[in-house]
Structure 1
Amino acid sequence: MKAITIAQAGGVENLILTTVEKPILKENEVLVKTKAISINPVDYKIRSVEPGLNMMYGEQRPVILGWDISGTVSQIGNKVTKFKVGDTVFGMVNFPGNGAAYAEYVASPEDHLAKMPKNISFEDAAAATLAALTALQVLETRIKKDDRILIHAGSGGVGHFSIQIAKAMGAYVITTSSAKNKDLVMGFGADEHIDYIKQKFEEVVSDLDFVFDMFNGDILLKSIDVVKSGGTIMSLPAPDFSDEITTLAKERNVNITNLLVQSSAKDMHTISKMLEEGTLTSHVSETFSFEDLNKAHQHLESGRTVGKVIVKL
């Protein structure tokens, strides 16, 4: 089968299109013939530095990167009960760990997949995996109806899913983006928009129940001032909070926490149902061929991505 492998960390030139053997299934696994792959910031971050590769793969080289897939079941292990050959499925495979998604065939535990709704494409399904799971796992136990929440970077991958999920939960959603993406984020259901280029969010909002931060650093520090006492900030980047941040959060009685998304069939079923009902939609802004997967990395790494970047097989 075709696959894209990497033998050492570095630039996109280290992503090599090659031929490898199909995965050998374990008894609880499903073999998926891949139709679409979603690319996330974690992909290029892990690709670019050896500590990232080592964290996920140890000393194994070369390796196949990637976690987000949609496709068709071509084979099942002898203990698989939830899927049959021919089913269309999607999910985030083995995260954190070795998903090996940049390939024509991907072996996934059945507990990491859900059946695709019939009303969406393979591209939209692949988009609604790591980013949508992150949004769901961050929000589902931390916000409630009528909470006032701020979602930074609402036009991004995690951001645009977060707006929709928070609205489905009944929250009042404020989000930041550039002015050119205002209509997009408002279309996802945001109640208020802040143009982060012309406005300082810390001067516009206050007394919030929850903030979803994608940046850490100065934005996280300023976010503490807009959260009410007893409120929460979820910060996605690694939890290396500065002394200034932790001190201010303690002084203001604001809980700052961190989450690493986990593969989950249960959560994928929730996302599948929302996609089917139309309460959740994927915004795919760029699509690349498998042979141009390195260009997908470059596009995402530019920091100009709106919504999701997809690779088609």
Structure 2
Amino acid sequence: MEETMKAWQQNAPGPVEENLKLVDNVPSPSTALKKGEILVRVVSACLNPADYKVMEMGFLARATVKFPKVMGMDLSGTVTAVAEGSTDVKVGDYILGRVDPMKSHGSLSQFLVLSQEEYAVIPREVDLDHAAGVPTAGMTAYQSIKPYVKAGDRIFINGGSGGTGSFGIQIGKALGCHVTTSCSTAKVDLVKKLGADAVIDYRVENIVTELKAEGQVYDLVVDNVGNSPKDFFATTPGFLRSAGHYIAVGGSPSLQTVQNMTKGLLWPSFLGGTPRKFVPYFTKNVREDYEQLASWLADGTITTTIDSTFEFEQVIGALEHLKKGSSTGKVIVHVSPKE
């Protein structure tokens, strides 16, 4: 293995269009692997809004991220080395994986070391572009639904056409739930194709009005949007059962987001707070969860909706496309050839 590799690296916080650079002499990761680690040749990477948001957080980025930083969380690729004593993975295996966004080495690099909690082995017949689109969005959807439902429950997913929402619809159905979701007019056919039982078109219908008309029938609300409808959590007693949960997934970092989270968590109902369980969501790498997602991907229970693909040299263009907020599905970057 060569001592250096190509990677998209940023030396300091700031707009990615100006600061993120393709560097051809980034030190390659060490092949001296710790217990449970694997060395991966990255084939495909998937871009997420969090990738550029972390880079653009200013002083918060300096406080939480070590620069220079290689961008990217999600990936698929081929195992090129395994730690001594590993029995559940071998050289040549395909994997999907996710890097913690606060780590300095990300998925937009030719090689990467993953710990045993950060990946799952996938069958070789699984398309690596589709696999790369699963980790963050799929894990977020799975962890925001699975602990809170049983077969027969009713779920409302606010924002069903994005990456997390599209997996959420499929996962909710796989778990035996009735799924209602919201999206724009242009995305109605997509979410129905993914399995949604009912769809609220927010461009022509009022989400809260439509939900309240059904009564307190929902067991879980997953909010992938975060700022629309306004004060959404406060409206949930009109349609969420008293024992139901509201999972706050979406929303850009802002003072309003912090205020909403603080109020939802700390403001008691006897002082005017909302009498429903508010749960802020933070993605966690869990090996068993990745293995479940990998299994569902392999057998067709879940599929990745891909919006577009870009070559490794086109990452800035891919990020500009992602920032528009109009993509339908995942934005994939081809890092290396499959073989």
Bin of the TM-score, shorter chain as denominator length: over 0.9
24-33 vs 64-73, greater mean Cα deviation? 24-33
More moved, 107-116 vs 76-85: 76-85
Report whether the alignment pairs 1:232 with 2:238: no
Corresponding position of 1:287: 309
Aligned to 2:226: 216
Does the CA-based 8 Å contact 1:91-1:129 persist in structure 2? Answer: yes
Match 2:176 to one of 156, 161, 170 = 170
Aligned to 1:134: 140
- After TM superposition, the score normalised by the length of structure 1 is 0.92
Alpha-carbon distance in 2 for matches of 1:248, 1:150 = 24
- Matched to 1:261, the amino acid is T
The equivalent position to 2:78 in structure 1, one of 60, 68, 72, is 72
Equivalent position SS for 2:51: helix
Unaligned runs of 5+ in 1: none
Query: In 2 relative to 1, CA 96–132 (structure 1 residues): closer, same or farther, beyond 3 Å?
Result: farther
Displacement after TM superposition at 1:98 (Å): 4.0
Deviations 1:89-135 (A, max 9, x none): 11112355445211000111133111123332110000011110111
Is residue 2:34 matched to residue 1:27? yes
**Alpha-carbon distance, 1:3 to partner:** 0.5
Instruction: Please say if residues 286 and 310 of structure 1, whose CA atoms lie closer than 8 Å, have aligned partners that are also in contact.
Output: yes
Deviations 1:239-273 (A, max 9, x none): 62437656596644211111111112211100011
8 Å Cα contact 2:72/2:101 also seen in 1? no
Q: Please name the residue that 1:39 is paired with.
A: 47
Tell me how far apart the structure 2 counterparts of residues 283 and 218 of structure 1 sit (CA, whole Å). Answer: 23
> Amino acid of the residue matched to residue 270 of structure 1?
Q
- Structure 2 equivalent of residue 204 of structure 1: 210
Show the counterpart of 2:329.
Answer: 307
**1:263 pairs with 2:269:** no
Equivalent residue of 2:147, what SS? coil
8 A contact 2:69–2:106 mirrored in 1: yes
* Cα 1:5–1:95 shift into 2, 3 Å: closer
Give the conservation status (yes or no) of the 8 Å contact 1:202–1:223: no
Percent identity, aligned pairs only, is 30
| 1:231–1:220 Cα change, 3 Å | farther
TM-score, L = length of structure 2: 0.86
1:54 corresponds to: 62
Which shows bigger deviation, 214-223 or 203-212? 214-223
Alpha-carbon distance in 2 for matches of 1:81, 1:162: 32
* Cα RMSD for the two superposed structures: 2.0
Matches within 5 A, 1:115-194: 115-194=121-200
Give CA-to-partner distance per residue, 1:250-300, whole Å, 9 cap, x none.
Answer: 644211111111112211100011111211110011111111111221111
Unaligned runs of 5+ in 2: none
Q: Which moved more, 1:251-260 or 1:235-244?
A: 235-244
Q: Aligned equivalents of 2:69 and 2:224: distance in 1?
A: 28
Which residue identity lines up with residue 269 of structure 1 in the other structure? Answer: E
| Residues 72, 107 of structure 2: 8 Å contact kept | yes
- Give 2:137's aligned amino acid: A
Select 1:15's aligned residue among 20, 30, 38.
Answer: 20
Residues 168 and 84 from structure 1, CA distance in 2 versus in 1: closer, same or farther, beyond 3 angstroms?
Answer: same
Relative distance call for 1:259 and 1:252 in structure 2 (3 A) is closer
1: distance between equivalents of 2:61 and 2:152? 41
Between the aligned partners of 1:297 and 1:185, the Cα distance in structure 2 is 24
- Structure 2 CA distance for aligned equivalents of residues 167 and 280 of structure 1: 10
CA contact under 8 A between 1:213 and 1:220: conserved in structure 2?
Answer: no
On the 8 A contact 2:67/2:104 being kept in 1, the answer is no
> What residue in structure 1 maps to residue 6 of structure 2?
2
Aligned amino acid, residue 133 of structure 1: M
Note the alpha carbon deviations across 1:55-111, whole angstroms, 9 max, x for none.
542xx3211121111000111222433211111111112355445211000111133
Three-state SS of the structure 1 residue aligned to 2:54 is helix
Name the CA distance, whole Å, in 1 between partners of 2:96 and 2:315: 19
Number of aligned residue pairs: give it. 311
Using the alignment, how far apart are the partners of 1:8 and 1:47 within structure 2? 8
- Asked if the contact 1:82/1:110 (under 8 Å) is kept, the reply is no
Letter of the structure 1 residue corresponding to residue 330 of structure 2: K
